[in-house]
Amino acid sequence: MNRFAAALAALMIVGTALPATAQDSSARAIVPHFTAPQAAAFSKQVERDLAQRGARVAIVFRAGRMRDQLPEGIAYTHGAFWVYRDIQTADGKSQKGYAVYNLYAGDGKAWSKIESRLVQDFPLDFTRGSTVNDMAVIVPSPEMQRRILAVIDSPTYQKVHNPEYSLVANPWARKYQNCNNFMLNVIAAGVWNTDNPNQITANLKAHYKPTVVKANGLVRFFGPIADQRLRTDDQDAVIRTATYESMAVFMRENKLLQDAYIFNYQP
């Protein structure tokens, strides 16, 4: 039995004994870390920081797990686009602010756990899903911000979405997606000016180096929630996935980046 198969076997054994916790692409943390006022304050701090940097589009990442549960080299589990634009308030008025564009997996109640949907919510919703006191931020270059926004506001945004969900979707394959993989497809659509998902996948395989998840890290990370969401038949002997870390490297190396940094909550 190779290391990958052994890891999956161990994962299934571990998964029967441990309780579920917050996961990649979930709408919110199962075990809340922030109180509502703290989450509101943190989200406003991030918004003000982005505004000061003149970011019309940013890519923000949160950790839905405590750090000691994450695989080596992976610090965040969910990411989304934060877009500064006109927002309709509950009373029908319009105001400027950041809207958050997510890919969320189902919880098995509202919709299937192995199906993802594109959901627009707000910074407070995003921040309430964090289990730690920091977020990671990628601010694309001004030109890349323009291109990402153009994709978000076009039919391409829906076209590059694949609702077949996997926790460890391989960005070099088209079979499944998770939140980071989807964002990478949106970025790629802007970079290469294409709405062809297969062409995007081919370009990413040629130019993007995914994060490799070590077998022991896979067990530690996904063991508590082993279920149908852990679909790996798009992988080979190496488990590849998209993360903040590898996306920041890709954008920096291709001059698509204005800044990448960690933002800490300030009580």
The 3-class SS string of 6-20 reads HHHHHHHHHHCCCCC
Q: pLDDT at position 8, please? A: 44
Q: What percent of the chain has pLDDT over 90?
A: 67
Confidence (pLDDT) at 167: 86
Give tens-digit pLDDT for 30-49. 567 999 999 999 999 999 99
Give the chain as a DSSP string.
Answer: --HHHHHHHHHHHHHTTS-----TT-SS-SS--S-HHHHHHHHHHHHHHHHHTT-SEEEEEE-SS-GGGSPTT---SEEEEEEEEEEE-TTS-EEEEEEEEEEEE--SSSS-TTBEEEEEE-HHHHHTT-SSSEEEEEEE-HHHHHHHHHHHTSTHHHHT---BB-TT--TT-SS-B-HHHHHHHHHHHHHHT---HHHHHHHHHHH--PEEEPHHHHHHHHGGG-STT---TT--SSEEE--HHHHHHHHHHTT-EEEEEEEE---
Asked if the model's pLDDT at residue 259 lies above 90, the reply is yes
**Residue 85 and residue 122: Cα distance in Å, rounded?**
12
The pLDDT value recorded for residue 67 is 86
Tokens of 117: 């949907």
**Of all residues in the chain, what percent carry a pLDDT higher than 70?**
84
Residue 176 to residues 14, 128, 180, 229, Cα–Cα distance (Å) = 24, 26, 12, 10
Mean pLDDT of 182-189: 98
For residues 263 and 134, the answer to whether their CB atoms sit within 8 Å is yes
239 versus 97: which is more confidently predicted?
A: 97
Does the CA dihedral 141-147-151-153 come out positive or negative?
A: positive
pLDDT at 126 over 90: yes
Give the mean model confidence (pLDDT) for residues 186-190.
98
Four-way CATH pick for 3-264: 1.10.1740.10, 3.40.50.300, 1.20.810.10, 3.90.1720.10 = 3.90.1720.10
- Highest mean pLDDT: which of 8-17, 19-28, 234-243? 234-243
| The pLDDT of residue 92 is above 90 | no
Mean pLDDT over the full length of the chain: 86
- Average the pLDDT over each of 89-98, 189-198, 205-214, 239-248 and give the range with the smallest value: 89-98
At 222, list the tokens: 């996904």
> Of 71 and 119, which is predicted with more confidence?
119
d(CA 261, CA 25): 21
Boundaries of every domain in the chain: 3-264
**Per-residue confidence at 55, pLDDT binned at 50, 70, 90?**
very high
Binned at pLDDT 50, 70 and 90, residue 221 comes out as: low
pLDDT at 93: 85
Whole-number pLDDT of residue 74: 87
